[in-house]
Amino acid sequence: MPPTDGDPHHAARLRLHQLDTADARAAFARDVASGLRSSPKQLFPKYFYDELGSELFDAICLLPEYYLTRAENEILAESADEIITSAAGDPTGSGSTTTPLALLELGSGSATKTRRIIEALLKRQGTLLYLPVDISASALDASAHALLQSYPALHIEAYASDYDTALARLAGERRERAERLLVLFLGSNIGNFDHAVAEQFLRALRGVLRAGDALLVGADLKKDRAVLEAAYDDALGVTAAFNLNQLVRLNREFGADFQPRAFRHVAEYNEAAGRVEIYIESRFAQVVALPALDMEITFAEGERIHTENSYKYDAAELDALAERTGFHCLRRWTDAAGRFSSNLFIAR
């Protein structure tokens, strides 16, 4: 461990904004009630990430079948310097483009992969302002302290929030900032969005940026069904636990009586739609009570709750996505096995 800097709680270098509080719980309750009343039933992936859910996702990233994290980490370890010089509009790497970059990350989680980018930026400009946004306050708090411990020249302004709330807040603050921005949207987080929503989201993000700002988008690539389905239904059952944990969360937060063992995890590649679909499937006919929402939910045998989509892309789709949303895809890096892509979008 590096020596402490006389500020063990990092108070001077950390500001943590909790943007979602009372409203967030009411919105969660509304989403659950309407999602479980609709047909087919659905729950939203952002609700996977309670404290246990965030830990289970970190475990997923270590699974042999879940190649995405390792592939993206390989790209970032190999090419962080090149990514930074391209993002800074400084292809020779001479540092001649002197305006420092600030780093905004959407869905930062444990921010392990981000270290490669942070190190490259610190090497280039000496200090760095890092603005992580994550729905999980616990993950945000833990990762911020770990990063500040590692990097004495780092300052962090963290937002515990969903993306929309954070973007609305950052839009106001962007105007006052002199730095150029590099935005990270890593790990195939964009894969949770339907195509139309992904476009809307990138346009909203573009609205927060200035021309020349950069966005690094991590996107998983289309590939063999067997590889994709194994990545989302691993042999140890960690992804199943991650998915079914959403029922455990409903038990805790809304007094529901879901029996996780009465359901199974399903992951199917829908090749026509280009996405892996994740479901919670009822093993038999049953009725579940949700007292806090004053609801009873009936399941037929085999009936499913759709909990997540994970879209897979190809290069042409990513280039087109950039053009349609006010960006230009300047460069794309892939891992040696060609499974995953890191795409550098520049705001036009």
110 is an interface residue for ligand AVJ by CB under 6 A: no
> What does the block give as tokens for 145?
């302290």
Q: State which of positions 256-315 bind ligand AVJ (CB under 6 A).
A: 308, 310
Residue 239, interface with ligand AVJ (CB under 6 A)? Answer: yes
Residue 14 and residue 187: Cα distance in Å, rounded? Answer: 24
Query: Smallest distance from the beta carbon of 60 to ligand AVJ, in angstroms?
Result: 5
Element of type H or E holding 228: helix 225-231
Interface with ligand AVJ (CB under 6 A), residue total: 12
DSSP result, 267-286: EEEETTTTEEEEEEEESS-E
73 near ligand AVJ, judged by CB under 6 A: no
Residue in the shown chain whose Cβ atom is closest to ligand AVJ: 310
Smallest separation, CB 148 to ligand AVJ (Å): 24
Q: Does residue 188 touch ligand AVJ according to CB under 6 A?
A: yes
The answer to whether 192 contacts ligand AVJ (rule: CB under 6 A) is yes
Identify the residue among 32, 43, 60, 182 touching ligand AVJ (CB under 6 A).
60
Taking CB under 6 A as the binding criterion, the range among 186-194, 247-255, 285-293, 295-303 that sits at the site for ligand AVJ is 186-194
Phi, psi of 221 (to 5 degrees): -100, 150
- Shortest Å distance, C-beta 242 to ligand AVJ: 6
Instruction: Give the integer Cα–Cα distance in Å for 186 and 107.
Output: 8
Contacts 24+ apart (CB under 8 A), 259-263: 262/286
Cα end-to-end span (Å), the chain: 43
Three-state DSSP class for residue 164: helix
Footprint on residues 209-238 left by ligand AVJ (CB under 6 A): 232
Span interacting with ligand AVJ, options 158-166, 189-197, 205-213, 325-333, rule CB under 6 A: 189-197
14, 68, 101, 322: which one contacts ligand AVJ (CB under 6 A)? 68
> For residues 191 and 275, is the Cβ–Cβ distance under 8 A?
yes
d(CA 334, CA 341): 4
53 in contact with ligand AVJ (CB under 6 A): no
Q: Which is nearer to ligand AVJ, 124 or 306 (CB)?
A: 306
Which element (helix H / strand E) includes 75? Answer: helix 67-87
Is residue 11 exposed (0-12), middle (13-18) or buried (19+ Cβ within 10 Å)? exposed
Residues that bind ligand AVJ (CB under 6 A): 60, 68, 187-189, 191-192, 232, 239, 242, 308, 310
